[in-house]
Structure 1
Amino acid sequence: MKGVPFSVFMSDALYGDFGYYMTDRNRFGRRGDFYTSAQVSPVFGRLLALQILREAPSGEPLSLVEIGCGDGDLAVALLQGLASFSEENRRIRYAAIDRSQVSLTRTRERLTAFSAQCADCRVEWSTFASMEALLAYDLTFRGAFLIGNEVLDALPCELINVDLARISDLSATAASRAVREGRMIENQRIDGTPLEIAYTGEPCREASVYAKSFVSPLVRSGHLPKAGVHHVEVPIAYRSFLQSIANTLSPREMILLDYGGETADVIAADRPRGSLRGYQHHRLVDPLSSPGDVDITYDVDFSYVREILEEVGYVVDPLTRQGSYLMGIISRANATQHVVSESEYGALKHLVMPGGLGDRFVVCVAHRDKEAV
């Protein structure tokens, strides 16, 4: 069958020469296609800054890397928080990494304006297109803190459909036969209708392994029915991405925030079509409808993320919903740290309340040197 794996299509639609993240468009905020927590309010970044300072050794320079910096909203809020809450003489260093030159340019503009208003010589910042470029500039960023806000959901995935009657069989042969890989057909339509996905019985090895390790147990446990076809997003890019971070930057702590949950949250009986979706002008649209003009995304399987992080030597805290995580930071702040102003209470509710960002988003924190409890 002609066509390319869905992951190739998604990578090109998001990161190709005319991809969604690579061209000069409004992606975030009211004039864009969606909000992240960083655009809702700077209190989000300030709270993360306060938590990082709680974990950082006292008296040492603080180095922070943000991977996937977007338009710089989170960067400014983080640096404002770090400058406000840290000791007066503490040196603060921030590095932004993003493969999009548009994002790096916008982040530089935001940080230049911040520096002009801040007059705090302790704060230093820089931007880079890759982790390797950062370390070529300054090797001492190895072992820094690392934040990634809504990065994982934008990494290309494979699409598979799984024959639930077959996947529960423990034999590798039966499990592989239960999985069919999604392919984007080559003959793109010219009448304006969306592209289509066809499925082949020759899935990539990682898709089959993921289905056997993460989907099959859900069928055997009764979480999924033992018949029918279930569509699943396989995050094939996570392993290489997280391994590269661990091997290259070796962060002392990673804070990864995204929508999703444990495997059982993401792959559920009431979601037989999976979680793949597109966003345009704050509306859900067909993710195949207009490649390059639509944000393509899916829910993050943090059970898989945890497995990979533990494989590369990190200790992962129990997953926390964003609302509980942020409120926990506030509850631990001392009386002299004015974290949330009265005018920001409304925005804080959007960040923490159930039914919205508060329980839609998950916080995954991984430590390099912390012993498992």
Structure 2
Amino acid sequence: MISPFQTASATDFALQTSAQLQAHICAEIAAAGGQLPFDAFMELALYAPGLGYYVAGAHKFGADGDFVTAPELSPLFGQCVAAQTAEVLAQLGGGAVLEFGAGSGALAVAVLRELAQRDCLPEHYWILELSPELMERQRQRIQAEIPHLAPRCAWLTALPQQFRGVMLANEVLDAMPVSRFRVRDDGGIDEIVVIDQAGALIETTAPPHSSALLEAVAAIQTAGFAQTPGYTSEINLRLTPWLAALGAAMDAGVVLLIDYGYPRSGYYQADRTQGTLLCHQRHQTYDDPYRQPGLQDMTAHVDFTAVAEAGIAAGFELAGFTTQAHFLLGCGIDALLTADTITIEQMQAAKQLLLPTAMGERFKVLGLNKNIKGRWSGFSVRDLCERL
């Protein structure tokens, strides 16, 4: 069935792109000797040049896309992130903002607008974006909505060598390729891999391709998790080198990581036997990552204990960990909601940001400090670091 947001020609083009991506993945499987580790498949499905989900040009964000993020729901989210950013920039005596994967540009617009209101604009607002198509959409939105602030914005394809300020990553970690594993009946560990079966993408298991996966699973099992035969889950092996790169680039400042996930005890709880991997297309959720590759988003929840451990190993200090609702309350969303200009629509959007049954509890915020001290407002209402 054609989505009401798509024309027949657009649907045909999307299906052709998906078919090309599947053929490309099959060729990569053949080149790798007949199987790809799941993280390599996920990287191709999401980021293969010109074909992957995030780089192929389809509309992804908002009501006419595949999912809605917090910045799309309401500028109140960005105003609160800006309030926290302003605290850090004030303590540093200035600095820059670097946003990873800025999506439609909604967060950048809201943050810059609010920082201008607070007379606390950053020296630069950098966006590190891997998708040329999204980069162009972000440029257009910023130019259309805040043209007077557009000169402060610049787009990067790699980390700056030196950085001082605030790094923002909203729903970035969940889109990192993850490795998947399964516990065998004898207690050993297999890796989930992808094979080509007569042109169809099929998953199976194989001995782990790297010792890193074995070591990571062993650490989880030593902590008492993921021990039952058949238990299947994910591990983000790319998290540690990513945070190490951030630590090397940052001279001083704060990293704010906002995403859905759990502490390790919740992530690998006994009844979560099939992991957290999910796919999203046209606001529907699927559990088949091999369905129309390139046309659906693919995500895994975040193990925030692993994030904290990797951050500390990279030279950061843990600044705080809390729910999105408590972070927004700490940053003053309640005061924003009492403004005379607030609308019914904005109140409804705020409920989605704050309610436990919506995004309020499911999303978490973790902060990392580097060469800076501060009791940040976002973690002042309720800090849950002890749960990590």
Aligned residue in 2 for 1:173: none
Distance 1:146 1:163 in 2: 40
- In the alignment, which of 103, 106, 110 is matched to residue 137 of structure 2? 106
Distance 1:8 1:148 in 2: 22
1:277 CA displacement: 1.1
Aligned residue in 1 for 2:332: 330
Distance 2:271 2:131 in 1: 36
The 8 Å contact of residues 325 and 363 in structure 1, kept in 2 or not, is answered as yes
Aligned residue in 2 for 1:7: 39
1:234 CA displacement: 1.1
**Structure 1 residues 58 and 143: CA distance shift in structure 2, 3 A:** closer
- In the alignment, which of 309, 312, 317 is matched to residue 310 of structure 1? 312
**Structure 1 residues 339 and 239: CA distance shift in structure 2, 3 A:** farther
Aligned residue in 2 for 1:171: none
1:206 CA displacement: 1.5
- Say yes or no: does 1:161 pair with 2:182: yes
- In the alignment, which of 152, 160, 166 is matched to residue 173 of structure 2? 152
Alignment deviations for residues 296-318 of structure 1 (CA, whole Å, 9 cap, x no partner): 11111010110010011111134
Aligned residue in 2 for 1:127: 155
Aligned residue in 1 for 2:350: 348
**Structure 1 residues 369 and 229: CA distance shift in structure 2, 3 A:** same
1:187 CA displacement: 2.9
Count of paired positions: 340
Aligned residue in 2 for 1:209: 215
1:355 CA displacement: 1.4
Q: What amino acid is aligned across from residue 162 of structure 1 in structure 2?
A: V
Alignment deviations for residues 296-354 of structure 1 (CA, whole Å, 9 cap, x no partner): 1111101011001001111113420101110111179699x959834422211110110
The 8 Å contact of residues 92 and 253 in structure 2, kept in 1 or not, is answered as no
Distance 2:298 2:80 in 1: 28
Using the size of structure 1 for normalisation, the TM-score is 0.84
Aligned residue in 2 for 1:22: 55
Distance 1:350 1:368 in 2: 32
The 8 Å contact of residues 53 and 86 in structure 1, kept in 2 or not, is answered as no
Distance 1:21 1:215 in 2: 34
Aligned residue in 2 for 1:169: none
1:204 CA displacement: 1.8
The 8 Å contact of residues 76 and 333 in structure 2, kept in 1 or not, is answered as no
SS at match of 1:96: strand
1:250 CA displacement: 4.2
1:59 CA displacement: 8.9
Distance 1:346 1:332 in 2: 13
Matches within 5 A, 1:162-201: 162-163=183-184, 166=187, 178-187=188-197, 189=199, 195-201=201-207
SS at match of 1:83: helix
1:216 CA displacement: 3.3
Distance 1:372 1:60 in 2: 14
Alignment deviations for residues 15-45 of structure 1 (CA, whole Å, 9 cap, x no partner): 0020000011111111111111111111100
1:165 CA displacement: 6.8
**Structure 1 residues 312 and 202: CA distance shift in structure 2, 3 A:** closer
Aligned residue in 2 for 1:272: 273
Aligned residue in 2 for 1:38: 71
The 8 Å contact of residues 80 and 333 in structure 2, kept in 1 or not, is answered as no
Using the size of structure 2 for normalisation, the TM-score is 0.81
1:201 CA displacement: 2.3
SS at match of 2:65: coil
Aligned residue in 1 for 2:94: 61
1:91 CA displacement: 5.5
Aligned residue in 2 for 1:170: none
Aligned residue in 2 for 1:255: 256
1:245 CA displacement: 1.5
**Structure 1 residues 339 and 236: CA distance shift in structure 2, 3 A:** farther
Give ranges in structure 1 of 5+ residues lacking alignment.
167-177
**Root mean square deviation of aligned Cα:** 2.6
Distance 2:369 2:58 in 1: 36
Identity of aligned residues (%): 26
1:155 CA displacement: 0.8
The 8 Å contact of residues 181 and 204 in structure 1, kept in 2 or not, is answered as no
1:203 CA displacement: 4.2
Alignment deviations for residues 149-170 of structure 1 (CA, whole Å, 9 cap, x no partner): 011111111110024873xxxx
Alignment deviations for residues 189-240 of structure 1 (CA, whole Å, 9 cap, x no partner): 35xxxx3211112342121111111233134xxxx6x542211111011111
The 8 Å contact of residues 89 and 122 in structure 2, kept in 1 or not, is answered as no
Deviates more, 1:305-314 or 1:315-324: 315-324
Q: What amino acid is aligned across from residue 247 of structure 2 in structure 1?
A: A
**Structure 1 residues 33 and 334: CA distance shift in structure 2, 3 A:** closer
The 8 Å contact of residues 83 and 92 in structure 1, kept in 2 or not, is answered as no
The 8 Å contact of residues 95 and 164 in structure 2, kept in 1 or not, is answered as no
Alignment deviations for residues 51-91 of structure 1 (CA, whole Å, 9 cap, x no partner): 1112322693341110111111111011111111235xx55
Distance 1:308 1:50 in 2: 26
